Structure 1
Amino acid sequence: MASRDMVVGIFFLSQTVLGMLGNSALLCCFIIADFSGIRAKPTDLIVKHLVWANFIVLCRGIPQTIAAFSQTYYLDYVSCKLAFYFHRVGRGVSLSSTSLLSVFQAITISPSSSRWAQYKPRAPRIIGPFLGLCWALQLLLYNFIFVYTTNIRGGRNVTGIQDFGYCTVINSEKLISILIVILIAFNDVVFLTLMTLASGYMVFILLRHKQRVQHIHRSLSPRSSPETRATQSILTLVCCFVIFYATSVVFTSYLSASEGSRWLSNTGAAMAACFPALCPFLLIRHYASFFRLCCSSFYQTIHCACVVREF
């Protein structure tokens, strides 16, 4: 085994295990909350879908890790198609769920005098249908993967392939490749733009509110204000989201339009899994008090609590 393959295998193994543990912790907290009778907020449904989408994306790290440690590991014909298809679907749902989370939060904190205030009562009711629409859209968008993905044996006698170590992707005609790249990039850019605009709007609202009450915070405590801490959390989430997914879009578009090397394929897969692996740890910061409440409810076997979560 080459040292480069060992490094790649260790990286994918660490990334997959870390991401699985973080998302599992977040999911277990929601399960405990449901059994404890804790009242759910509308954003919790979005986070649950986000967690399941993250699980799907991180599952691709398993064959990546095995292929890096074992040069004779290959997926069969059907498994290759399903692995690539659900990875891309999970990635798309993770992207759209995070964007929806930002948009919903922006509507929630908008002042009553803004044009967004009229959507506050209706926003919680459309979360479920919108999440269903996101799943349906991503399931339809990546149907082309079933046509161009095959196993190692099926790609040996085909010119113009991308070798991922355990599966191969057959390059389509140039015009079709361009259309696929445009379609995928458009899907990603739309959701990235929505999240960036919504997060920028939230930061603007919070900073303006901070200026109005700045004299109160100065007289009460020298610590940073809640608005400042919330703004920093939003900026952290947005920066991670935009950096990882924008980089992933570049790698995906390049790989779809050309014959990339194994190293480039591994880099693209690693970047696509970075945000799903780190996302739960960013969200856990918001749910810190909620986690303490869940643990207290679990150990004290309190099943009838009705508490509104702070997010």
Structure 2
Amino acid sequence: MDVATGIIILSETLLGALGNCSLLYHYLFLYCTEGRVRATDFILMHLTVSNSLAILSKGLPQTLAALGLTHFISDLECCLLRYVQRLAKCMSIGTTCVLSVFQAIMVSPMDSCCKDLKVKAPQYVTVSVSFCWILYVSVNIIFPVYILYISGNWSMINITNKRDLGYCYSYDNENVSGPVYLILLVLPELLFSVLIVWANGSMILFLYRHKQRVQHIHRNHVSSRSSAESRATQRILVLVSTFVYFYILASLFRIFMALFDDENWWLINTENIISLCFPTVSPFLVMRRDSPVFRASFAMMKNKKSRYHTPK
């Protein structure tokens, strides 16, 4: 069972690292050639960064632990690793929320309540993503600082929870970290989850109304523009729905793990595998053949190559 778990997590790690690095390369290529990227591409670039952090901080140590190399890092290294894991998880839901709300605003009808935000929304993307990074970098730093404090004051602080993560031990004091975790992390996640559900529902409603409306439209230029807009919305819906599915599934396993006093390694290994599913598959959902990111990048590469081979 441990070897099988290690092979599965290793496969997710390698596949996810390859996909996210390829996607990040294309975003950087677009930025270097054009000098800017679209708002959705900017959000997806930061989502790719958070997915890469999740894969490196969780995939690699979990693979080594499943293959038999256990407790190979110190308490300080474990704190830093847990910090990166929390940061990647929080930024994943934060950027997904920004992506969902932005796309819902952009595809909303002109007579909706979001009509005034359609012009200003692209300007707020950078501020929103930067706010997520600042918020979660600041909030998550509390936990490693707290662990380092109690590790130097074992006689003063009563450690009520000690979790074996396989590659290290995670310590917790429920009287202190419980309320802090609830206020600083759980409540923002609930707010982002509500916004994601609202944005997805709005986009689904828009696509449904759009499908009914274009059935009576036969002009090619209108239908082609509308269909392109619908395809972009559908791609984002698939990406966000995949995130929501794996996020809910992993959360259910975390709840089951909290209900058991003893360490159930089947639940732990399953939760580790599920938590890496979205960072692994998300770049391949974006890197579809009809993705505008890759059409643009490959077109520019082709044009650049043709200029070098044009005879004088």
Structure 2 residue identity aligned to 1:41 = R
Instruction: Report the CA distance shift for 1:40/1:72 in structure 2 as closer, same or farther (over 3 A).
Output: closer
Q: Deviations over 1:207-233 (max 9, x none)?
A: 112111113469999xxx667755654
- Measured in 2, the distance between the counterparts of 1:266 and 1:94 equals 21
RMSD across aligned C-alpha pairs, in angstroms?
A: 3.3
**Which residue number corresponds to residue 198 of structure 2?**
197
Distance 1:303 1:199 in 2: 42
Amino acid at match of 1:125: Q
Equivalent position SS for 1:301 = helix
* Aligned equivalent of 1:308: none
| 1:234-253 matched pairs, under 5 angstroms | 234-253=236-255
**Residues 72-102 of structure 1: CA distance to partner in whole angstroms, max 9, x if unpaired?**
4511222111111111101110111011011
| 1:124-273 to 2 correspondences below 5 Å | 124-146=122-144, 147-148=146-147, 160-173=161-174, 176-177=177-178, 180-181=181-182, 183-216=184-217, 229=231, 232-253=234-255, 255=257, 259=261, 260-273=263-276
CA distance in 1, matches of 2:89, 2:280: 12
Tell me the CA shift for residue 162 of structure 1.
1.0
Q: How does 1:54-93 map to 2 (within 5 A)?
A: 54-59=51-56, 60-72=58-70, 74-93=72-91
Identify the range of structure 1 (267-276 vs 286-295) with the bigger mean alpha-carbon deviation. Answer: 286-295
Which runs of 5 or more residues in structure 2 are unaligned? 308-312
What letter is aligned with 2:193? L
Counting only pairs closer than 5 Å after superposition, residues 268-287 of structure 1 correspond to structure 2 as: 268-285=271-288
CA contact 1:36–1:303 (8 Å) conserved in 2: no
Counterparts of 2:210 and 2:249 in 1: how far apart (Å)? 33
CA contact (8 A) 1:91 1:272 kept: no
8 Å CA contact 1:181–1:256 kept in 2: the answer is: no
Q: Letter of the 1:96 partner, please give it.
A: G
Which blocks of at least 5 consecutive residues in structure 1 are unaligned? 305-311
Partner of 1:117, secondary structure, is coil
Q: 1:235 to 1:184 in 2, by over 3 A?
A: same
Q: Which amino acid is 1:271 matched to? A: I
Provide the rounded CA distance (Å) in 2 between the counterparts of 1:205 and 1:236.
15
> Counterpart of 2:107 in structure 1: which amino acid?
I
| Superposed displacement of residue 264, structure 1 | 2.6
Equivalent residue pairs, number: 294
CA distance in 1, matches of 2:257, 2:137: 21
Which deviates the most, 112-121 or 39-48? 39-48
Q: CA deviation at 1:253?
A: 4.9
**What does residue 307 of structure 1 align with?**
none
| 1:146-179 deviation digits (Å, cap 9, x = unpaired) | 134899xx9xxx7741101111112423574365
- SS in structure 2 opposite 1:116? coil
2:39 maps to which of 39, 42, 45: 42
Instruction: Provide the C-alpha distance between the structure 1 equivalents of 2:46 and 2:306, rounded to a whole number of angstroms.
Output: 24
> Compared with structure 1, are the counterparts of its residues 58 and 122 closer, same or farther at alpha carbon in structure 2 (3 Å cutoff)?
same
Shift of 1:261: 3.0
Distance of 2:184 and 2:253 partners within structure 1: 15
Do the aligned residues in 2 keep the contact of 1:27 with 1:51 (CA within 8 Å)?
A: yes
**CA deviation string 1:258-277 (max 9, x = no partner):** 64433333322322221111
Distance 1:62 1:77, change over 3 A: same
Q: Distance in 2 between matches of 1:131 and 1:219?
A: 37
Q: Cα–Cα, structure 1 residues 126 and 293, in superposed 2: closer, same or farther, change >3 Å? A: closer
Displacement of 1:286 in angstroms is 7.8
Contact 2:23 2:287 in 1 (8 A): yes
Instruction: For residue 184 of structure 1, report the CA deviation from its aligned partner.
Output: 3.3
| 1:292 aligned residue (279, 282, 295) | 295
Provide the secondary structure at the position in 1 that maps to 2:69.
Answer: coil
* 1: CA distance, partners of 2:135 / 2:258: 20
1:122 is the counterpart of 2:120: yes
What secondary structure sits across from 2:266 in the alignment? helix
**Cα–Cα, structure 1 residues 240 and 264, in superposed 2: closer, same or farther, change >3 Å?**
same
Q: Is the 8 A contact 1:171 1:256 kept in 2?
A: no
1:292 is displaced (CA, Å) by 3.3
Q: Structure 1 residue 251: deviation in Å?
A: 3.5
Residues 159/93 of structure 1: CA separation in 2 closer, same or farther (3 Å cut)? closer
Alpha-carbon distance change, 132 to 238 in structure 1, aligned in 2, over 3 angstroms: closer
Deviations 1:270-294 (A, max 9, x none): 2222111111111223862431331
